[in-house]
Structure 1
Amino acid sequence: MTLDDSRRVGETDLMTRWARLWRRMTRMFDVDAVPVTVVDDLAPDPHAWSAGYADTAGTGFGTVARRLPLLIGTSLRLAAEASRPRTAALLAVQTASSLAGAFSLYATTDVLAPLFGAGATPDRIRAALPSMLVVLVLTATRSLCDSVAKAFAQQLGPMMDAKAMIRLQELCTRAELVAFDKADWVDASQRAERGSISARSMLAITQQVLQSLATLIGVAGVLTVLHPVLVPLLLLSVVPRWWAAVRVARLDYKVFVRWVEGRRRQTLLTQLSVTTTSAAAVRALSLSGYLVERYRRITDAYLTERLQLVRAETSSMVVGNAIAGLFTGLVYAVLALLLWRQAIPLAVGGTAYLAVSRVQQALLSLAMDINELYAEGLYLEDYRSFCDDAAGHLPSAGDEPTPEDFQEIVAEDVVFAYQGTTTPAVAGVSLRVKRGQVVAFVGENGAAKTTMAKLLARLYLPDSGRITWDGHDSAAMDIETLRSRIAFIDQDHTRFPFTARENIRIGDWTADPDPARIQEAAQHAGAHRFISALPRGYDTLLERSLSGGLSVSGGQWQRLALARGFFRRASLVIADEPTSSLDAAAEAAFYRRLREYGGTIVMITHRLGNVAECADYIYVFADGLVAEQGTHTELIAADGWYARSYRLQRQSFEKGDSLGERIEPAQSIRPAEAEPALQSGSSSTITEGKALPSPIRSS
């Protein structure tokens, strides 16, 4: 090997070592140096956070410098939407504070000039006294204005919070159900909930930023008058801290975004540990060790990344502060040089020193405030983007009339697929429901019965085909008016944390909450007896976690859901296995009562004996299509799936009846004793011997 070759090898080794050292140093600044740890099924979903991550990954000083005016403008605009007078007053008071601060600093020169001049000390103090009074008044004015501005910001904050949260609640409750089938809807809604409070935070930070900027502008103006060379040096001391603030905000937001699902999983595990609904199952399955270990793995993964985040943020702040400190020292060195060369008077030098000291405080505050303002701006953007997305899922205003007493509902070749699936759940269904009929949907699980019921209830819109009411397309009707004609009672009933009375009344919350009507609905659902046995009757709060509340059984909750449906008195009743927690006798009694109740009914059940007794017409679903249709007699004669399933269930019940005949009479349950008491999980009948109500709609 020649000498040149040896030299080149040595240079290559040196460059390799420097490159390795540089990579180690830069890793200290990079939060991505530690990858997201996969915990079981906690694999990051790129569709849930990639957009926000990509936006923040490329953010630098220039971006923030361009966005800062926009962020301040956005904050003030949102404040003006909450209260225009208070926002105007805030700006006026903040401007007065800025002017008072600038003039007080400039007046300091008039104070220092006589104090540093010749003559006896008492004479110098008397000469400086008028300027001292001016400085005192201006300083007090500035302090008062700052306090008033802060008070206005604190008043606007709750108003902005309320406006943002109400908007979020409105959008989430009105958006089409299909929006909730999107994979990233929950993540986006959680980020939006965090972002909904950002408007208030941004206003408070904006007020501080404006105060700091006013101080900087005032000081820059004073220094320009005293000596222009000091101004660019001060600007150089600002840039490094701004760079550090921007970087810290970006790193913090990146970790926040990609751990949204992880935090939600932590919350779900916590709920399993502390809620009453899961307490018994956790203990019965001895899940303490399993849940704690699962929670620990998620927490450890998050902790690892948080520690890396802290290291990256600390390194950025140290570098930024070090460079800023270097330029600050340069400012003082130049100031000393100007005084040494007598380029400025001593009084002017003293004022400049005070100005630089004030700038340092303003810069420190501004760096922190810009950090928070930028981060809150990112969170607010999540809120705004979610609101825009949710607004895109709001139902359009309908222009088709909604028949109040329809004659026929017709589904014409309806096709529908859920979000993220390629195979339609409903693959071309045509059917009709005539006024006054009881129509049954039957079939195996996953056959599309419930999906078709939700399409009839206008919870979803068909991808193709249409559903008409007396020839009018339901997709073009006013959605609230149409839904007011429908009572949808499903098996996944919601347990609202309200009183028993309110749980029934919300079936038609716009109607007069007549206690007699509420009680009537409860009686026909078999709920009146157990409600009356509650500590406060219909006014008992049904939520154990709230003060004064308690819980009832699953069967009793189901009866409350049935009572909601009875209270609604709709033209079309869709009952999607609403009696899954009741036994066969109770279900049969419910469907008999529902038929006697009147109106038009679409029933979904797996108990074909009730179908045979109640249904006028039956649709048998299979693989998203209608495989059979007809009356009970016609389907039995066709000897298809319905006939075979009906015979199988009847044979099963006949065997059960033969066994039941061997039970002693003393062991049987009399109808009067059948309704469960408080906390009972079963029931056998919903009949209470009361008079039947008037029909929902005459047929």
Structure 2
Amino acid sequence: MAEDFVDPVDLRIEARAGRRSPRRLLALCRRSTRLVREAAPRSFAASVILQVAAALLLAGQVWSVKLLLDAILAASDGGASVASLVWPVAVLAALTALTALTGSVQSYLSRYLGERVARSMWRHVLGAATAVPLRSFESSAFYDRLRRVQTNAVSRPYQVTRGILTTLGAAVSAVAVGATLVGIAPVLLPLLLLGGVPLLLTSRRESHLEFDFDVAQTPNQRLRAYLTHVLTDRDAAKEIRAFDLGEPLGHRMDDAYGTFLHDLGRHLRRRTLLSSVGTLGTALVLAATLGALVVLISRGELGVADAGAAVVAVRMLQGQIQSMFGGVQSVFESGLFLDDVEAFLRTGVAAGVESRGFPAPERFDRVDVDDVSFTYPGASTPALDGVSLGMTAGEVVAIVGENGSGKTTLAKVLAGLYEPDEGVVRWDGVDQAGMDRRSLRSRIAVIFQDFVRYALPASENISAGSEHDDARVRAAARATGADRALEGLPDGYATVLSRLFRGGRELSGGQWQRVALARAYYRDAPLVILDEPTSALDPRAEHDLFASLRDVLAGRTAVFISHRFSTVRSADRIFVMDAGRVVEAGDHDTLMALGGLYAELFTIQAAAYSEPTA
């Protein structure tokens, strides 16, 4: 339900309540590692191996520096020949080259692994987005979370895993280099370990600042994304130019971006301050460590070679400790976003589980709507208020009424796209709510007035959502009169119906409407719902379509919704809606004789065509 998507303030409070602890760190590591491992197991294993190898190579460089310094001192004292330098130099050069090669391979592998994770996460996110109830799309909170998920789902799981790999590599390097340092000057190691404490203290606050900023900016990001879409969308292009909206909408976009940049600047200043405090603390600890190293040298407790190796080890170890705590910070920061992503995915899973039930019947004798009410999220009045009606197999039923009377909402309830707040929809006396959603939708063909024009081949526009069969596609096109337009395309039914892609062609509004009707005909469903199915057809085409409707549907139950009363007079029964209620029912003659709302509206529309020309 849309109400399951929490307010941003509640989300930030929930994030702050998630305490930073070793247990939470382990939980985040397990979750994100599982996601990455499932997306690319071999690449993940290779990354771990390379990370450990890079750490060991780093420790090896410390020893090679010590060996080289020993050899240089021995050669300078005349105790060894210059040739004795060849081996230490070769070892150091080889280790340096291997380190560079390992880093290069890690970089390429990281890019590939990131794309594999992105593909896997998009699969999960799109699956959840198409599984949540249609009602969720009536909530702005849902759109806010969907926007955050679209932004973070692709990158954050891998960022957590990359943080884990960084922490792992830095830890292995720290252990290896630390062991080397212990062998040279053990007193320096505890001092260096203290260098990570300032970073640990400031990183948590930085993580929460980043998450709070992202959540707070979600509405602004959505506004900018919307304005970008409108200003670059092909369908909106004509109106943008006709009303000269480019400049005012461009200013609105610029203002929104300006607000974002102002907030971003303030946010980055706060993060920079925190980061500076942590870095300064680490630098002070490093200075103290180097001071201790100087004291050891001055006392003669370290030789020149040991001192040189110790300097290299101290610098390397300090860098690894910073990397390790930086990796931990990355895990926690991305983990906050990962919580948000997983909450969204759980919503999709829950919706899928809730929609399971027994299979819908392949055919029915009767469908009844019994006292159904439905209110949109945030609305003060119901869109449907105690609606009751019934239809039998093979009937052609019309639902009419003025705009806003609830016709389309009722169509969505009949199609199983909305769950009613009250009341039930029954198929042969069985509550529709207990049926498996996917099974139910396969028994219903519904085409709305704002049907989707897919930038796909014509054949796929007709067979959308069903198993493809060329013969059935052509039969559906012939039944609705779409065949004349499609067979004349350059590649026939294989032509892409959009100029967005090379070789594509565009159809007229009426031709598109026939394709959409063919889509409904193609699905062999016992219940067909057509919402304003002829709004783009000319009067002759509209008359021909309805004249052949019974033959085209071949015994299926048809519910068509229209505000054109002249097109529904041949229906078996007509239900008249007003303010979310069914106020009249009967065939055309009965309703005209009743002299109620239907007769009034029919007469008004008929008068518009019958008035004499001045």
Q: What displacement does 1:496 show?
A: 1.0
Instruction: Identify if the C-alpha distance between structure 1 residues 155 and 284 changes in structure 2 by more than 3 Å, giving closer, same or farther.
Output: closer
What SS does the aligned partner of 2:582 have?
Answer: strand
CA RMSD of aligned residues (A): 3.1
Distance 2:514 2:428 in 1: 33
Partner of 1:177: 134
Q: 1:646 to 1:358 in 2, by over 3 A?
A: same
Q: Report if the CA contact (8 A) 1:413-1:430 is conserved.
A: yes
What are the superposed Cα offsets for residues 536-576 of structure 1, whole Å, 9 maximum, x if unpaired?
43333222333333433333322221121122232111111
Counterpart amino acid of residue 535 in structure 2: S
- Aligned 8 A contact 2:369 2:424 in 1: yes
**Cα distance in 2 for residues equivalent to 1:297 and 1:84:** 45
- Paired with 1:73 and 1:600, the residues of 2 have a C-alpha distance of 52
Note if 1:297 corresponds to 2:252: no
2:216 corresponds to which of 241, 251, 258? 258
Q: What residue is the counterpart of 1:545 in the other structure?
A: 500
Residue 428 (structure 1) aligned to one of 386, 389, 399: 386
Seen in structure 2, the aligned counterparts of structure 1 residues 120 and 343 have a Cα distance that, compared at 3 Å, is closer
Q: Quick one: which of 35, 43, 51 aligns to 1:94?
A: 51
Q: Please name the residue that 1:561 is paired with.
A: 516
Partners of 2:356 and 2:436 within 8 A in 1: yes
Report how far residue 497 of structure 1 moved.
Answer: 1.1
- Check whether the contact 1:178–1:460 (CA below 8 A) recurs between aligned residues: yes
1:235-274 alpha-carbon deviations (Å, 9 max, x no partner)? 2322334555555444344333222221222222223322
- Following the alignment from structure 1 to structure 2, what is the Cα–Cα distance between the partners of residues 257 and 98? 37
1:601 deviates by 0.8
TM-score, with length taken from structure 1: 0.79
Larger CA deviation: 528-537 vs 326-335: 528-537
Aligned pair 1:193/2:150, yes or no?
yes
Question: Cα offset for 1:457?
Answer: 1.0
User: Which of 334, 353, 359 is residue 292 of structure 2 equivalent to?
Assistant: 334
Deviations 1:265-318 (A, max 9, x none): 222222332233222212221223312222222122122222223333333333
Contact 2:370 2:423 (8 Å CA) reproduced:
yes
Structure 1 residue 127: Cα displacement: 7.1
Residues 485-504 of structure 1: matches in 2 within 5 Å? Answer: 485-504=443-462
1:493: Cα distance to partner?
Answer: 0.8
Given candidates 502, 506, 519, the residue that maps to 2:474 is: 519
What's the CA shift string for 1:491-511, capped at 9, x where partnerless? 1111111122221221x5314
Is 2:68–2:85's contact at 8 Å kept on the other side of the alignment? yes
Contact 1:107 1:135 in 2 (8 A): yes
Distance 1:450 1:288 in 2: 33
How far residue 604 of structure 1 moved from its aligned partner, in angstroms, is 1.1
Partner of 2:243: 285
Q: Is this contact kept in 1: 2:157–2:338, CA < 8 A?
A: yes
Separation (CA, whole Å) in 2 of partners of 1:258 and 1:93? 38
**Equivalent residue number for residue 634 of structure 1:** 590
Comparing 135-144 with 355-364, greater Cα deviation is found at 135-144
For 2:336 and 2:85, the matched residues in 1 are separated by 50
Q: Deviations over 1:307-342 (max 9, x none)?
A: 223333333333333332222111111111122123
Question: What code does the residue aligned with 2:9 have?
Answer: S
| SS of residue paired to 1:79 | helix
The residue number in structure 1 matching 2:196 is: 238
Query: In the alignment, residue 528 of structure 2 is paired with which amino acid?
Result: V
1: distance between equivalents of 2:180 and 2:28?
A: 28
Alignment correspondent of 2:560: 603
Aligned to 1:681: none
> For the residues of structure 2 that align with 1:127 and 1:520, how far apart are their CA atoms?
88
Cα pair distance change 1:261/1:552, threshold 3 Å? farther
Task: Structure 1 unaligned segments of length 5 or more: list them.
Answer: 1-45, 663-699
Shift of 1:593: 1.8
Equivalent residue number for residue 646 of structure 1: 602
Letter in 1 for 2:413: L
Q: Deviations over 1:438-490 (max 9, x none)?
A: 11112222222221111111111222322121222222222222212211021
Corresponding residue to 1:167 among 124, 134, 141? 124
Aligned match of 2:436:
478
Deviations 1:646-694 (A, max 9, x none): 2332333322xx54xx9xxxxxxxxxxxxxxxxxxxxxxxxxxxxxxxx
**Which of 333, 348, 369 is matched with 2:306 structurally?**
348
- The answer (yes or no) to whether the contact 2:366–2:392 under 8 Å persists in 1 is yes
Q: What does 1:440-451 correspond to in 2, within 5 Å?
A: 440-451=398-409
Residues 57-456 of structure 1: matches in 2 within 5 Å? 63=20, 68-102=25-59, 104-106=61-63, 109=66, 112-113=69-70, 115-116=72-73, 120-121=77-78, 123=80, 152-197=109-154, 198-243=156-201, 245-363=203-321, 365-366=323-324, 369-370=327-328, 372-394=330-352, 396=354, 398-456=356-414
Say whether residues 1:619 and 2:575 are aligned partners: yes
Distance 1:584 1:269 in 2: 37
Shift of 1:55: 5.2
Match of 1:25 in 2: none
For 1:482 and 1:230, the matched residues in 2 are separated by 71
| C-alpha separation in 2, matches of 1:71 and 1:94 | 20
Distance apart, 1:110 and its partner CA: 5.3
Partners of 1:400 and 1:472 within 8 A in 2: no
Shift of 1:67: 5.1
Change in Cα spacing, 1:69 to 1:220, as seen in structure 2 (3 Å) is farther
Equivalent residues of 1:466, 1:475 under 8 A apart: yes
| % identical aligned pairs | 33
Please state how far the C-alpha of 1:631 moved relative to its aligned partner: 2.5
CA radius of gyration, larger in: 1
- Rounded to whole Å, the distance in 1 between the matches of 2:252 and 2:21 is 39
Q: Tell me how far 1:384 sits from its aligned partner.
A: 1.5
Is contact 2:65-2:92 (8 Å) kept?
Answer: yes
Aligned partners of 2:22, 2:200: CA distance in 1, in Å? 9
Partners in 2 of 1:578 and 1:625 — Cα distance? 22
| Structure 1 pair 631–549 and aligned structure 2 pair: CA distance change class (3 A) | same
Query: How many angstroms does 1:160 deviate by?
Result: 1.8
Q: What whole-Å deviation, never above 9, does each CA across 1:134-156 have from its counterpart, x for those lacking one?
A: 66666666666555555554443
User: Which moves more between the two structures, 234-243 or 627-636?
Assistant: 234-243
- Asked if 2 retains the 8 angstrom alpha-carbon contact of 1:427 and 1:625, the reply is yes
Contact between 1:527 and 1:559, CA under 8 Å: does it hold in 2? yes
Q: Residues 410 and 469 of structure 1 are in contact (CA less than 8 Å); yes or no, is this contact kept in structure 2?
A: yes
Which letter does structure 2 place at the counterpart of 1:54?
Answer: I
Partner Cα separation in structure 2 for residue 304 and residue 93 of structure 1: 41
Which string of whole-angstrom CA distances, capped at 9 and with x for unpartnered residues, describes residues 497-540 of structure 1?
Answer: 1122221221x5314233xx323322332333333444443333
Question: CA-to-partner distance for each residue in 1:193-248, whole Å, 9 max, x for gaps?
Answer: 22222223433443333222322232333333433331232123223345555554
Give the partner amino acid of 1:425: A
Structure 2: state its 5+ residue gaps: none
Contact 2:455 2:500 in 1 (8 A): no
